[in-house]
Structures are given as C-alpha cells and as structure tokens.
Amino acid sequence: MSDVLIREVGLRDGLQLVKNILPTEKKIKWLNKQSLLNFKEIEVTSFVPKKVVPQFFDAKIILNEANKISNLTSSVLVPNLFGAKKALELNAQKINYVLSASESHNKANVNKDVNSSINELSEIVNYNRNLEKNSKIGVAISTAFGCSIEGEISNLKVLNLVEKILKIGVDEITIADTVGYANPKQVRMLFKKLINLTDNLKIFAHFHDTRGLGIVNVLTAFDLGIRKFDSSLLGLGGCPFAPGASGNVATEDLIYLFNSMRVSTGINLEDLVILCKNISNFFPNEVVNGRILSAGIPKNYY
C-alpha cells in the first residue's frame, strides 16, 4: 500500500478554467494513459449543467469509460441532488458533493445557501442508501481557508460544517483551499482539530498553488498525518466562480516531493513526466505551472 494516495483531479478541476472544450477522445486518452501509471483514484468529470460549465458536456461518456478500467476508483463531482442521481444511475463508484464554508461562494458556485446544501447532502446520502448498489459519498468543503469574495473564513465555521456532515454520514471529507489563501500555520491549526474530530474518517487535502504555498501546505498536512491529496497534471485548474482562483498543486511536483523523500506514491516520476509532456500538447494556449516539467528531474533524484 502506498504511503500517500494522490488523487488526480485534472480531468475535472483542471479542465474547469480551460478556455477551449477538450474533445472527448482526448479526455479518454488522458484517462487511460494516466490510469496505466498506477493512479488508484481519478476524479474523471463533473455532473453540472452544460450551460454552466460546457466542458463537461460528455460526463456520461467519460464516466462510462472510466468504469471500464480495473483497479481504478473513478470519482465525479456533483453540486446538487439532480447531478448526484445522474451519477449514481451511471454507477459512479464515488461522488464528491461540493459545498462551501463561505456563504457567498456557495451562492456563486451552486446557487444556494450553505444550510440548503447541507440539507441536500442528507437527501443524497439517503437516496444512495436506498439503492441496491451503494456508492461512496465524499464531501468537498471549498474555501476552507479563505474566500476571495468574503475574505477570512474562521476555523470554527469549517469545524461546525464538518460536525454536521459527520452526523449525516459520509465516507470522506476533502478540505479545499479553493483560492490559494492557506498558509502553513492555518493548515496546522485546522487539520489538528479536524483529525481529532473525524477520527478514522478519510480526509483529503486539496491545495491550490495560486500564491506559491501549495507544496509547503501539502507538506504541513503530511507532517500532521494526512495521507491523501488532490492534485492536477500541469497545475491546471481553479474555480470559475471564485475571483482569482487558479492553479492546483501540480501532480508531477507532488510525486517528485514524496518520491524524493522516499515516501511511496506508487507512481514512477519519469513515466509521469512523459505523460505530462504529451498532455501539455492538448493545451497550446494555456499556462501550465508544474515545476518539474520545466526544470527537469535532478541528477540526485535517486
């Protein structure tokens, strides 16, 4: 078992801010090639209205293709009960329901207040429980460290949300720095409390490198015991409904970080760099942010 699990979110979060729609066949090529590199979980698409995020017009096709891949947990993001039902009907192995710690961002992102999102989560969990075959339910708490609309978000607000989510009953919780506001001190304070609160519940950390602190925030969370992280190939991504949001932590940089520290990821960095170079050709007009792709693998890597 790998010492850390890196969940690739490029096909979902990474594509949200890409200006041009990536053709379905290229998404499938990306999915298949990355799954061959021993990635155990990939967030493959999002079930959102096409008029809101046209990039995911082919969500059904992508999920169906992902379900054909053995030894891969394919997860999808859903913003509401309608999207969750569609994903569950298509046998999504895991759905990640998104809500925000920030009322303003929740309204901009999913067009409802936070309490309404919590109530809808309860409906999704109950709906899933009544199915003949259950899927795993995850919840992503966006803007957990700050919001580019509201500004400061208190730890107490995030912890209160987590308590409500735990009472409903989910399989995992993702804590997301949607706009890249987090610093290591904030990360240390919040995750210490979260670990005590959630006990054995799986916690994912989702950091953006918008202001250059993504990697150090990952390392801070790792030192506290977090072992599951989101990242995106080439550092692509960001929330289209949060001003100034950009740049997930690059998957290749995370793999380099952990592999160079002799923390097992199960991923071969050289093979991943080759994939990154191939995938970068899909985005000739996009800024890519991965450092390893531009700087190369150092000679003392081994």
Residues designated as active site: 239
Report the C-alpha gap between 46 and 248 in whole angstroms: 17
For tokens 């799954």, name the residue. 35
Query: Residue 128 and residue 180: Cα distance in Å, rounded?
Result: 33
What are the CA-CA distances from residue 217 to residues 4, 174, 179, 188, 222 (Å)? 15, 14, 13, 9, 9
CA distances, 188 to each of 21, 116, 214, 222 (Å):
38, 30, 14, 10
* Residue at 209: amino acid letter: D
- Report d(CA 55, CA 36) in Å as an integer: 24
